[in-house]
Amino acid sequence: MNIVLRELKAHRKSLIAWSVGMVFLILAGMTKYSGFANSGQSANDLFKGLPGLAAAFGIESVDLTQAIGFYSVLFLYILVMTAIHGSLLGAEIISKEEQEKTAEFLFSKPVTRTQVVTSKLFAALVNLLALNLVTLVASVIMVGAYNTGESVTPVILLLMVGLFFVQLIFLSIGIAAAGISKKPKLAAPVATGLLLAAFFLSLWLDITKKYPGLKYLTPFKYFEGRVIINHNSLDPLYVAISLGIVAVMLLAAYLRYNSRDLSV
């Protein structure tokens, strides 16, 4: 419990900075929309008639002139930002003891390694949840302000659930990188390297339809804004895959961290 409180305190500043950044991103994004909405013609009809064309550009039948449609584009960047937050948090929270030479001190206390990882995981989850809630509130307010049709709150809630799964995936990747690697310095670069690879793969998949199977490799394709908005539900397959990734990553992290030599 002490470790949880300590970690929460240690990450308070960074959480506040991330929250402010997230609110700013949503605020700036939706303010841009207000300029767009006024000038926008009904691109909607054109989009609907030509799913093939739109898909070629990665904007599969979503009406950009609607507040929620524009938000779906913004949502990709929200995913990326929270993914960066999650992977760095996961990598740092575990590797910092070794990197800052506090591991010896920590493990001279009567705690097991499993307890330490569990406490840190718990503190990280609180951080993820807080950032998710901030995103939720900012999104509901900002999209709601420009929305003219029916309420968008339910679909934003759904998007936030998807967002949370992506956060969890990258947090667990970060924790696994730090838990497994004997070089604490490598944890953050490896975790963010995977993140960037996944991001560029998803951009690549947007312009080619040749290898649809590859979309299982990138979490950025699991919970796409436009798909969730159109179907009004999360794909259970992707929820299952996400949970699977998280379970495997955490298991690997626990097993390896329990047995390996710490770098001191």
Partner 1 sequence: MMNMLIHELRQNQKATIIWTLSLVAGAALYLSIFPAFVTEADTLRKMLEGFPPTFRKAFGVTLESFATVAGFYSMILSYIMLAGSIQAMNLGTSIVSKEERGKTAEFLLTKPVRRSQILTAKLLAAFISLLVTNVVYLVAVPLIINAMAGAIIDIKTFLLLSFTLFFVQLFFLGLGFLVSAWASRIRSVLAVSLTTVFGFYIAGALDSIIGNTAIRYLTPFKYFDFAYIVKNSSYELQFVLIEVIVVILTIITSYYVYVKRDIRST
What is the binding site for partner 1 (CB under 8 A)? 14, 21, 25, 28-29, 32-33, 35-36, 39-41, 43, 46, 50, 53, 56-57, 59, 64, 70, 73-74, 77, 80-81, 84, 88, 92, 188-189, 192, 196, 200, 203-204, 207-208, 210
**CB of residue 233 to partner 1, shortest distance in Å:** 26
Least Cβ distance, residue 55 to partner 1 (angstroms)? 11
Residue among 29 and 179 whose Cβ is closer to partner 1: 29
- Smaller CB distance to partner 1: residue 81 or 239? 81
Q: Give 40 or 144: the residue with its C-beta nearer to partner 1.
A: 40
Report in angstroms how near the CB of residue 172 gets to partner 1 at its nearest: 18
Q: Which is nearer to partner 1, 197 or 255 (CB)?
A: 197
Give the CA distances from residue 173 to residues 103, 169, 180, 191, 213, in Å, rounded to whole numbers and listed in that order.
21, 6, 10, 6, 22
3-state helix/strand/coil string of the chain:
CHHHHHHHHHCHHHHHHHHHHHHHHHHHHHHHHHHHHHHCCCHHHHHHHCHHHHHHCCCCCCCCCCHHHHHHHHHHHHHHHHHHHHHHHHHHHHHHHHHCCCHHHHHCCCCCHHHHHHHHHHHHHHHHHHHHHHHHHHHHHHHHHHCCCCCCHHHHHHHHHHHHHHHHHHHHHHHHHHHHCCCHHHHHHHHHHHHHHHHHHHHHHHHCCCCHHHHHHCHHHCCCHHHHHHHCCCCHHHHHHHHHHHHHHHHHHHHHHHHCCCCC
Nearer to partner 1, 89 or 234 (CB): 89
Q: Least Å distance between CB 121 and partner 1? A: 19
Min dist CB 28 to partner 1, Å, is: 7
To partner 1, the closest distance from the beta carbon of 188 in angstroms equals 5
Q: Which is nearer to partner 1, 80 or 169 (CB)?
A: 80
Of the pair 25, 158, the CB lying nearest partner 1 is at 25
Q: Which residue has the tokens 């949370």?
A: 164
Q: How far is the CB of 205 from partner 1 (least distance, A)?
A: 10
